[in-house]
Structure 1
C-alpha cells in the first residue's frame, strides 16, 4: 500500500469507480481498517482465507502471520474452525500460500500454541467477538494469566517496541492462577497479550454486528496490524460506519456463476396449502429438467413452518406433504432445534433421498447445499428474522457453474400472504438486507401469477 492509508483508500475507490467517502481511522493509527461488502452467497470465508495470504505478502511482509478471525456466534465459530481445518476450498489455498505450515485453533485451545511456531507457521485463531468484548478484562479467559503462555514472553525485554502496549498484572488479577501481590506490575502472560505482542491480522465476519465503541476498544487491545471486515450489510452511518473498500454486486456473483438469479416469486393469497402445492410442483418440474443436466442435481425445497403455537407447525406441514402430495417420509427431513435430522447427512450424495427440508428458524450457520432451489414460507416473511437466511440457502449455484437448462439457473420462492404485492415488498426488503442493491432487486426479483401454467410439470 503506497503512501498513507487515506490516500490508498481513496485511490482504490477511484480505481473502481466507487463513490469517494472519507476514511475513518477510529484511533487505529497506522493499521488499515477496511470492509469488503459482499452479498449472501458470495463466499466470505473463502475470501477471508485469500485475504490472509494477500495481506501477508503485500502489506504485512510476513511469511507466517498470526490471524485473529472473529465471528458473531459460537455456531459460526465451530463451523469456521472446521472449514479452515478440513474443507479443501480453504485448506488447499492456505497450504499452498504458506508451504503447508498452517495451524488453526478454536479460541478455547489457544494454550496449545507453541512459542517456536510463532514466525514459523501461519496461526489462525477463530473466536466470537463476545469472547474478547468486555469492559473489565479480568472477566474473560483470553485476558487472564496462564502459565502456558510464559514461553512466549521469556525473551521479552523493555526495549521491545510493543512492551508498553502490553497489559500488566493488576490487583484484579491477584489470586488468579496463583498470582500474588508480588506479581502486580509484571507483564501478564495472557493470550490477549500474546496477540498484542505480534500485531495480528484481524478478520471480522459479519462485521455489521461489531460497530460499537466497546468493540473498537476491544480490537485496540490486541493492536492489530490490519483489520478486514466482510459483510453483506455494512454499517454506513457517519459516526461508526465501515470503510467500504470494495463492494461486490449480486450481478457480479451471477456473472461468476456463483448464485442463481433471478428469483421467481409466487404469492399465494388462497392459503398456505396452495403455496406448498406449488412448491411441490416447482420441485417436480425442476427434477425432470435436472435429469438432463450433465451433473447430478436433486432439487430440494426448504419449507419454513410456524412455531409450535402457530397454525402451520412442522407436524402439520409434514402431514400435508405426505397425505396431500404423496411424498414418502424418507424424502422429508426436519431441521429444528429439537429435531436434527440433517446431522451427519450428505445431501450431495446421489443415494440420499431427501427432497424436502422443514425448518422453523434459520438452518445452522454454515449449512450449505446448492441443491436447494425452492423456498416456501407459510408465515409472513416480514415477521421472520430468519427468512433472509433461508432465502440465501436457495441462491447458491450447484457446482458454482452455470447450468445448460435455464430454469436451473433460477431460484424460486412460494410465499403465503394475506394480500398481493405485500410478499413482494417484504421479499424486496429481505434481499436488500442480504446485500442486494435496490436497482438489482428490481432486475432479479420476478413475480409470477400462482395460476400460471409454468408451475405445472411438463
Structure 2
C-alpha cells in the first residue's frame, strides 16, 4: 500500500517541520517558519498562531477528510519522528482512540502482520515492533524493560484508559506489582506524578516519554476528557 500524493505531501511537511524544529530549537519558531516557506502568514488573515497547550511538546495536527487515511498517515509518521530524534530511547507510542469499537479495530489492525499498516511499521522498524493492549500492559505481559529497550512499543489505548472518573481508568494509577521491574528503569523523579505509586502504569508510561497519537482530538475537547498531558509525551499527533 502506497501513500497517495496528498498523503506524501503531509509526510513531507512533517519532515520539514521536524528539520526546522531541530534547527531552531523552538516549536513556535519552527511552526512559523514552515508556513512562511509556503508563503502563508501566521496570525491575522493567516494560519492561527501555534498553540503551546502542552509545554515543550510539539503538536502536529493531520487534518484529512473522512476516509482520507489518517491511520495510515499516523503509521507513516513514526519513522520520521524517531529518525529526527535518534537520541530518544526507548521508542514508545501511545495510540489513543475515542471509543471501544475503534479500540478493538485499531488493536486488531496493528497486531495483524499481514495488514498494510502493520507491514509499514515493521519495515520502518526492522520488524522489532510490539503492540500492547491495556490489559497486557497492566499484566506486564511481555512488557518489561528489556522488551521496550529492544523494540518499538505501541500501546493501543482509549481515552477512558486514563480517565479517573471511570473504574477502568483508575487502574492505570494504582500500585501494580507486575510492573515492579520498571522502578529501576530510567530513574528520573521529575517525570513522575505526585502521590501515585511508581509501579502504576501511568508512571511507567511517563518514564518512556512516548509519542502520542490521538485519533480525533475533537472528542477530547467536546467531552472535556483529561488531556494527554498526564501521559507526558515526546510529541503529540
TM-score normalised by length of structure 2: 0.78
Unaligned runs of 5+ in 2: 1-20, 41-45
Determine whether 1:219 maps to 2:228: yes
Query: Which residue in 1 is equivalent to 2:163?
Result: 133
Which aligned segments of 4 or more residues in structure 1 are displaced greater than 4 angstroms?
135-139
Unaligned runs of 5+ in 1: 171-186, 229-458
CA offsets 1:36-87 (integer angstroms, 9 cap, x no match): 1000111111111111112111246446511000011011011001111114
Alpha-carbon shift at residue 168 of structure 1 (Å):
4.6
Residues 160 and 169, structure 2, Cα contact 8 Å, conserved in 1: no
Determine whether 1:10 maps to 2:37: no
Determine whether 1:150 maps to 2:180: yes
Find the partner of 1:100 among 97, 122, 127. Answer: 127
CA offsets 1:407-450 (integer angstroms, 9 cap, x no match): xxxxxxxxxxxxxxxxxxxxxxxxxxxxxxxxxxxxxxxxxxxx
Query: Which residue in 1 is equivalent to 2:198?
Result: 188
Query: Which residue in 2 is equivalent to 1:202?
Result: 212
CA offsets 1:191-247 (integer angstroms, 9 cap, x no match): 1101111211000011211126954x541111111100xxxxxxxxxxxxxxxxxxx
Determine the C-alpha separation between the residues in 1 that align with 2:231 and 2:89: 20
Determine whether 1:122 maps to 2:148: no
Q: 1:425-444 counterparts in 2 under 5 A?
A: none
Find the partner of 2:84 among 58, 73, 76. Answer: 58
Determine the C-alpha separation between the residues in 2 that align with 1:130 and 1:138: 7
Aligned positions, number? 206
**Aligned-residue RMSD, C-alpha:** 2.4
Determine the C-alpha separation between the residues in 2 that align with 1:138 and 1:77: 14
Residues 198 and 204, structure 2, Cα contact 8 Å, conserved in 1: no
Alpha-carbon shift at residue 11 of structure 1 (Å):
1.9
Distance 1:34 1:155, change over 3 A: closer
Structure (1/2) with the larger helix percentage: 2
Structure (1/2) with the larger strand percentage: 1
Determine whether 1:78 maps to 2:104: yes
Determine the C-alpha separation between the residues in 1 that align with 2:166 and 2:130: 30
Query: Which residue in 2 is equivalent to 1:280?
Result: none
Alpha-carbon shift at residue 15 of structure 1 (Å):
3.1
Q: Secondary structure at the match of 1:167?
A: coil
Q: Secondary structure at the match of 1:7?
A: helix
Query: Which residue in 1 is equivalent to 2:12?
Result: none
Q: 1:52-451 counterparts in 2 under 5 A?
A: 52-59=78-85, 61-62=87-88, 65-86=91-112, 87-110=114-137, 111-112=140-141, 113-134=143-164, 140-155=170-185, 157=187, 160=188, 163-169=189-195, 187-211=197-221, 215=225, 217-228=226-237
Determine the C-alpha separation between the residues in 2 that align with 1:146 and 1:129: 20
Determine the C-alpha separation between the residues in 1 that align with 2:136 and 2:86: 25
